[in-house]
Structure formats: structure tokens, C-alpha cells
Amino acid sequence: MSEKDGNDSALQNMIISGSGALGIATGAAVGTLVAGPAGTLIGAATGALLQDGMKSVAGDIASRFTAETERERMGAVYILAQSQVVQRLNDGKKPRSASFFRPRERKKGKILRAEAEELLEGTFLAAQNAFEERKIELLANFYTNVVFRDDLDSSHAAYILSLLESLTYRQLISVVVIGNGTLMNAIRTRDFRGGGGLEPLQVGVLFELYQLVKLDLVTDADASYILGVADINPSRLRLQGTGTELFKLMAPLALDFDDYGYFVNAFQPIH
């Protein structure tokens, strides 16, 4: 069996595992994602580069990791991201410039992989380690958004990927909640200075938010200093800098109360 055939077989197994994790039928997914979509689905030449690169990296990753849990997570990311990519191409959306999807030549003739392929491998590895499996959808959204944005430096994207991997799912949802702003008028409107004891849920969420502040992802809308958890006024939190980019790269995301209810319960209004 050739290396290509071996990678295709491993990719097929990874897709089957990912389909099972997502609860979708495997037949059509395996046929399209292993063989590649029909030419009419690919679109322009850059779209073909994007699709071919995704399949190549996915096949290589699939051949290197054989644990079922790993295959489920990485297969799910691949299915979700590929589905979104095909949909955007069919909708006429243009991927970023072709150079992002082509190998790069450096000094002394050294050839580096395409930035898109490096970033996809990083996305797969983040999925492999995602014990909070609800991050899988966020990772798929991240990669899809990056490959359709020419205004985002690849090194900055790699840093944002490291945040997706290191932050908890609840911290990432806090970024979404703050970025959306829809809950900010329904929660506590003062900080926690001199407020007495904290509930266990408040302690956890406040310290998670404070880490986001220290990472310069979140700030106070009035530019007030946040030097500790007691200085946090939940209703005045806003995203800044990389926090805004992180929010954009996780979209679109349909949340229900099970996802964001902790934020409401931790910061109920004071009457």
C-alpha cells in the first residue's frame, strides 16, 4: 500500500469516528471528504489549493494518531471545518490570497509548508488535546474564519489558536458573552469591593475573567483599573485587541442557556 493510500484509509477511519461523535451519517461524509468534492464545489484555483491542503494535512494527521478518542475529536473538526469551507466557496466567498496555501521558500532554498497547513495541523492538535470537547466547534470555526481573512497575520492567528487551546471552554464563552453584549444589561452593575462573601460560582467565574483581563483580552468600558477580582464590574466588561479577534474567529456560534447560564447566575442583579 502506498503512503497516499495509507493516509486515505486512515483519513476515512478518522472521518467515520468524527461522524459518530457528531451523530451524523458517515456515507456521504466519507465519500466527499476523502475523494474530495466535485469540481463545481471547489470554485476558483485558490479554493482548490485550500481543499487539497486540508485533505493532505488531515490524511497525515490521521495516520499518526490512532486512539479512538483522538480520531473522534480530530475527525469532528475536519468534518465541521470542511463543511463550512465548502459552503462559503459555494456562496461565492473568496479565500485569502493563494500564497497562504502554497509552500514557502526561505533562505538557502529551504522549503516550508504552507501557512494554512501549519495552522490546520495546530488546529488538529488542539482538538486532540481538547478534553473539553465542546471546544471542537470553536476550533472548526476558528480555522474556517482564518482561511477566509486576508487581514489577519498568520502568527497572530497562531497565537489566538494557543489561547483557544489554553483557555477553558467557560472562559471562551465569556468572551462570546461579552462580545455579544446582549446580557450586559441583565446582570450585576457594580463591582465586588466591600461586598462581603462570594458564592462559589462567583469565585470561579471572577478568577476566570480576571485571567482574561491580565491577558489584555478584556477591559473595563470606563477604562477603570482592574487590579483584582473585586474590581470587576461584570456589566462594564468589554473586549479589546486580541479579545475582539478571538470573538470574531469563534463565530458563528449558537448558544443556549446551558452554555452561558453560569454568567447570568454568577452575576445576578442586586435589588
pLDDT band at 41 (very low <50, low <70, confident <90, very high): very low
For residue 220, list its beta bridge partners. Answer: 237
pLDDT band at 136 (very low <50, low <70, confident <90, very high): very high
Q: What is the pTM of this model?
A: 0.89
Mean pLDDT of the chain: 88
Residue 119 contacts by C-beta under 8 Å, 6 or more apart in sequence?
143, 146, 154, 157, 158, 161
pLDDT at position 26 is 56
What are 66-95's pLDDT values in tens digits?
Answer: 889 999 999 999 999 999 999 999 999 999
What are 224-254's pLDDT values in tens digits?
Answer: 899 999 999 999 999 999 999 999 999 999 9
pLDDT at position 85 is 93
Q: Is the pLDDT of residue 265 over 70?
A: yes
Q: Is the pLDDT of residue 45 over 70?
A: no
What are 195-225's pLDDT values in tens digits?
Answer: 778 999 999 999 999 999 999 999 999 988 9
**How far is residue 177's CA from residue 185's CA, in Å, rounded to a whole number?**
12
Strands 111-112 and 104-105: antiparallel
In order of 38, 52, 62, 113, the CA distances from 8 in angstroms are 17, 13, 9, 20
